[in-house]
Structure 1
Amino acid sequence: MTSQRRVLIADDEPLARERLTRMVEDLDGYRVSGEAANGDQVLDAMARDIPDIVLLDIRMPGRDGMEVAAHLSRQPNPPAIIFCTAYDDYAVRAFEVQAVAYLLKPVRREALAGALGQAERLNRVQLQALQGQADTDSHHLSVSSARGTELVDMTRVRYCEADQKYVTLHHDNGETLTDLSLKALESRFPEHLLRIHRHTLVGTHFIRSLERLEDGSSQVRVADTNEALPVSRRHVARVRQWLRDL
């Protein structure tokens, strides 16, 4: 039987704690190991039993969520931190203290499930890579949406696809929509994204092969998927050179 991940819920509003408790208990693989109404209670609970994950409000009496998260991030074996807050102006600071997700209230069940899954996938090496960083580091992108703020590891993005005003990032955890342009992404992450079409960037870690089709067109095979992405003529030489330099 798979052991359940222990979740500590910290919020100064009893109704908010009750709602999060119900959602966590409804998800397989997780159980609520404790509750806290303020930052000091979080630290007291941590001294007794370190949970795997902390659902943490930001504005609480005494020590606020940011202070608590900063303290926890300095521990030898810190829990994963997921902020659950009504305020969207702490997102950048949240990732400075190694938060794995930033959810806006009212927290939706599917958003919480996704954040808990992300907390399990984010290993210690990734947490150390996030420590002390500002908005993002050299391979992470902070993306805001109606669900909150998601931290996307660009080394795990298979491809980016533009559609009118938005770009969809296809990655390990599904899809993330951003209003950043392909040009901005290409410029910001040149080691991780390669232009293959005016509508498409492909993750350099996932280029499996370049194929020429009978009609003379070309496509890139993407590792870990059945995807074959079209390559425009002007970008074929660049993709071929990238494969040669591997």
Structure 2
Amino acid sequence: MELRTIVIDDEPLSRQELVHLLNEHSELNIIGEASSAEKGLGLILQLEPDAVFLDIEMTGMTGIELAETLQKLKNPPFVIFATAYPDYAVKAFRLDAVDYLLKPFDDIQVAQTVKRLLQKKQPAAPPASKAPSGKLAVQGEDRIYYLEPEKIVYIYREGRDTFIVTEKEKLSSKTTLKELEQKLTGYAFFRVHKGYLVNISKVEELVSWSTSVYQLKLKNSDDHVPVSRNYVKELRERLEL
């Protein structure tokens, strides 16, 4: 699931900081930025995003006024206020805001907001089913490899190429990490970092190198896979009984 997102803030540095933090979350796709509510409204009408991160105190139309306007749309986007002013919180939630981020932003606060946003967007879960049958097709230079998903240790993106590391070899593919993640839905794969997808049945250890840096030790591999701080809690929930 990918949420198409727009960020609206008249302070360039603040907007850049928020975009940087949001880009740490692969579920979000930042499709536009605007320096005013008026420009933001134009982008929203043109691009029809799923979510909008919106400053409140801006020259001209305020964020509150824009949110009120968005409520009149047939399919309004989710609104998350991102502001330096705590005084508007009550008004914001009366407008059904998903969350209220206070500047200066921090990665933990942003991660919690993204989680709430995804929960709002997440459709009802279908009944549990068995993992799909079949093999993962990987196009090589002169052949197609058919891999058993259970034997893949991890997958990562480097530049324009994706690398699939199995118990015996490493193969390259032009298929994006997101496409492979979708193909492997139903198997025990988990996104631990923007650029890494791991078979959690292969995890042996989660190592903390510092307060914000984690790595995974995997079976049948000498490699150590980085874990984004934002994914550590959910990863532990998936791994532990």
TM-score, length basis structure 1: 0.48
TM-score, length basis structure 2: 0.49
